[in-house]
Structure 1
Amino acid sequence: MKFKVFGCCALRRELSLLSAFSPHEIDLEILPEPPSPAVLQQRIDAAEGFDYILPCVGSCLSNGLQAGHIPIVLPRAHNCAHLLLGSLTRYHQAFSENEDAPRWLLGNGCHFLSPAFGNPCTVSDSLFTNVQPRREGREYAANLSLLRDYLNGDWDEARFLLLERQEQAVVDPVEILSAEPST
């Protein structure tokens, strides 16, 4: 199958590596920083010749995305930190242990929640942890299983949402994302 993948800059290294090992043909496009839902929707609408579109973003960007003539598969993830932590369980654990953390850093320098004070929590860069200096604050090792399954087409309903033609993604308090008819 042929996938068009749109990814946040925070995930560019991981997506590049995993795309190379996917059994599917992947056309990877990294979104401009900062990404916006409107730009992402324009890119989705312009995509042609793919079996599926995979916007590798969290619910922060996927709320309201609409499938046109190509089905969309979305990860049921809150944000890039969730995608790098690999599961909802690890995401909840990390955030419950650090409810007062003023900010989060992703290993390649992209920020998640960034007031300018206090020690950050870090999701270590899964590809280059051995060459990065130790940061202050709490550090969590990345787990690429969610991203790997996403790019390999191993989509179960608990972790991924399939949007068919004329459906849109909406934030759901239980499932993170759900589908409803486009308006």
Structure 2
Amino acid sequence: MRLKILACKVLYRELSYLSALCPNLLDVTYMRQGLHNTPEALRNELQKEIDAIDLDQDIHTGTEDSCGPIDAILLAYGLCSNGVCGLSSKKYPLVVPRAHDCNTLFLGSKERYREYFDTYSGIYWYTPGWLENAPMPSETMTDRLMELYTELYGEDNAEYLVDLELGWYKKYTTGAYIRWKELPFPQYEEYTKRCTHYLNWTFRLFEGSSDLLREFLSGSWDEDRFLVVPPGRKIAPSFDERILCVE
């Protein structure tokens, strides 16, 4: 199969590893991290990429004469605050994992994600891709904000502004690192421990799984784990355990 993949950059290491082992012909475009913070922006950027593929004008894909037609467009995202809802391709099937967010992709199943979510309240997830591409809750983040606001508003005002901006930290009680045996990064695991100690959170280490992403790339799209959207149809939230459905 020849597959076009649109993925958040936090999945770069995991998808790169699995792509190298996959027998299918894969063309991956990584989107910048942070688009999910504004779901409409994520939807718009992904739809632009899909439209470009439909028109065969995306420089990442090339032309059908040079590369051959693709079999499907894979979206390496979860529901992501409904950011993928409404997406559609006029020409190709869209395939997306049934997941609320990317942590399901790292953990390997929506059931495991649900289990941890229900068991451990207030989890903030850490992975290599998140640590490399996003400002994570940490002493480093606090210090950087303090330095910035001190320069702009003075030290007394800076302390107040940092406390205000980082007040959402209080919603969390656990910092969880997802480790893949195929891609061990002990330095990131240790850094996560330091972050949780600083934040007075409980540290937990969870073993992730490559199974879901491996099957995603292989084309083994069973209905329980993946939504396949026919050309011309749109992705929609299912509001049940399936997470996603065809509109």
- The TM-score normalised by the length of structure 2 is 0.67
- Structure with bigger helix share is 2
SS of alignment partner, residue 70 of structure 2: coil
Aligned positions, number: 179
CA distance in 2, matches of 1:150, 1:51: 13
Q: Which runs of 5+ in 1 are unaligned?
A: none
Deviations 1:54-113 (A, max 9, x none): 010001132221122111111111111011100122111111122233x22223315699
Indicate yes or no: 2:72 matched with 1:52.
yes
Relative distance call for 1:30 and 1:41 in structure 2 (3 A) is same
Name the residue aligned to 2:185. 129
SS of alignment partner, residue 100 of structure 2: coil
| Equivalent pair of 1:161/1:178 in contact (CA under 8 Å) | yes
Alignment RMSD = 2.1
The code of the aligned residue for 2:78 comes to G
Name the residue aligned to 1:19. 19
Relative distance call for 1:133 and 1:113 in structure 2 (3 A) is closer
Indicate yes or no: 2:4 matched with 1:4.
yes
The CA deviation at 1:156 is 0.2
Q: Which runs of 5+ in 2 are unaligned?
A: 36-41, 57-68, 138-167, 197-202
- Structure with bigger strand share is 1
Q: Deviating runs (4+, > 4 A) in structure 1?
A: 110-114
The CA deviation at 1:51 is 1.3
Name the residue aligned to 1:37. 43
The CA deviation at 1:122 is 2.2
- The TM-score normalised by the length of structure 1 is 0.88
| Equivalent pair of 2:180/2:210 in contact (CA under 8 Å) | no
Indicate yes or no: 2:214 matched with 1:148.
yes
Deviations 1:111-136 (A, max 9, x none): 69963355422223551234434324
| Equivalent pair of 1:106/1:125 in contact (CA under 8 Å) | no
Q: Report which of the two structures shows the higher radius of gyration computed on alpha carbons.
A: 2
Indicate yes or no: 2:125 matched with 1:69.
no
| Equivalent pair of 2:10/2:33 in contact (CA under 8 Å) | no
Name the residue aligned to 2:127. 106
The code of the aligned residue for 1:51 comes to D
Q: Which moved more, 1:104-113 or 1:13-22?
A: 104-113
